[in-house]
Structure 1
Amino acid sequence: MLEWLRSLSPRTEFVAVIALAFGWAIVSSTASVLAGPPPPAAAPEFTAGGLWGIVFLEVMTLALLTVLLSARGWTWPQLSRPWAQSDLLIGPALLVTAYLSYALLATLASHSGVALREPTFEHGVGWAAVLGVSVVNGFYEEALVCAYVIVALRERWGLWPAIHASTAIRTAYHLYQGSAGVLFIVPLGLIFAGWYARTGRLWPLILAHVLADALALSVMA
């Protein structure tokens, strides 16, 4: 089995990783867009069961991908430089930049008459679910859609195509969140991918993503 994994081409490896990590999310999000604009009552809803389901699925997928990528010779130092104290400041700063970019785009959209569809949340699920999914999802997404995608594509496609590919994949599996979600995800994806491509530092992005998820889901606690 390990020999077969090692024999895969880089292209096959990349497709397999993205399909395993985000394939179903991309398909279901795309289907929600193709189905047409939903009524307000059909806005995406986050529930306690959904949060724990995300934690379980992402932990299992990470375990599987760790085996695959380890067999292919990938190591953690290839994806991130070591943690530094400055990451505690850089992560929130990147998140604030993303929020300011979203605020600008949302203002322009509202002035253009575009209605932003916001998700709905189940309340009273507790902080365990909120923090659990925030930490797991923050690590999962940034390690794969940012670090892995950019490192895997940068040498073959170039820096900017790798940044745009990372942002496009990130946006594709967030389409279900509606227009408001996309207006936040696109600038966030470009900011995060650009920072990572320039510095190779992943921990600030993980911290920023954990904070973003925790803030968004705090209404459920």
Structure 2
Amino acid sequence: MLWFEVAVVLLVTFGLSGLSSILSLLESALSSAGLGGTTVALNRSMSSISLIDLAFQVLSVLKLFAWAGLALYLLWRSGLGPRTVGLARIRRRPDVLPGIGLAALIGLPGLGLYFLARAVGANVHVVPTALHDTWWRLPTLVLWAIANAVAEETVVVAYLLSRLRTLGWSPNRALWASALLRGSYHLYQGIGGGLGNVVMGLVFGRWWQRTGRLWPLIIAHALIDTVAFVGYALLAPHLSWLR
């Protein structure tokens, strides 16, 4: 039953995203432009009507929070409450400061890896946001960053590593499974995006295994995505090499 639960949760959430990303990678690689000539937008407008577009964005953000809620609920029912999986009251020293450090450790090399992969044609051109320039664009991008962080770290780290531990997997084997899952649903960005996120998964997963705290991972992930999304929205109109 536990294997069935894990399979269903992953198919509902990031496992299905991973399969879709693999198809997207194949499509980009087989296209006439190839990986290097393909552009992918991470946050896109969903309607030409501004308020309806905003509503669609909010619904998509809510879906990510619901994925995290589902994982937490299932863990809680089995006796692993939020505190047990690393969501105790957030604190500055054990949570916020390590989160900022992890953001710098992953974010800066990750940016370099992206440009390197782009240079050798192993990555698509990633556009962090293609939302229309509206009054709600920047707040929505921050919400997207937070929702991505909460959903990914809760499902891919806290939930999956907890369940694999219960199923008897060794810490290293479970860590690699979590990291490869994280890399798989970023493959739509190309080989570089997938490999970079595998490394991120190994670092984040090991941090959780050793400290038992999830907040630093959520904070780090949210900071990385916020800088990418909001930074691109503010700088792209003025820096042609970003577009």
The within-5 A match list for 1:1-221 is: 9-37=1-29, 38=31, 39=33, 42-45=38-41, 46-49=43-46, 51-52=57-58, 54-80=60-86, 82=88, 83-86=90-93, 87-102=95-110, 105=113, 113-120=120-127, 121-122=129-130, 124-125=133-134, 126-155=137-166, 156-218=168-230, 219-220=232-233
Q: Match of 1:78, SS?
A: coil
Shift of 1:115: 4.2
Root-mean-square deviation over aligned CA pairs? 2.6
Shift of 1:181: 2.0
Q: Match of 1:164, SS?
A: helix
Distance 1:149 1:32 in 2: 24
TM (norm. structure 2) is 0.75
Q: Is the 8 A contact 1:102 1:183 kept in 2?
A: no
Please state which structure has a larger fraction of its residues in helix: 1
With over 3 angstroms needed to count, the CA separation of the structure-2 counterparts of 1:139 and 1:71, relative to structure 1, is same
Distance 1:33 1:108 in 2: 18
Q: Is the 8 A contact 2:40 2:189 kept in 1?
A: yes
Q: Is the 8 A contact 2:68 2:155 kept in 1?
A: no
Distance 1:108 1:176 in 2: 17
Unaligned runs of 5+ in 1: 1-8
What residue number does 1:6 align with?
none
Q: State the identity as a percent.
A: 29
Shift of 1:142: 0.4
TM (norm. structure 1) is 0.82
Deviations 1:80-101 (A, max 9, x none): 1522211221011112111354
Q: Match of 1:127, SS?
A: helix
With over 3 angstroms needed to count, the CA separation of the structure-2 counterparts of 1:88 and 1:67, relative to structure 1, is closer
With over 3 angstroms needed to count, the CA separation of the structure-2 counterparts of 1:66 and 1:193, relative to structure 1, is closer
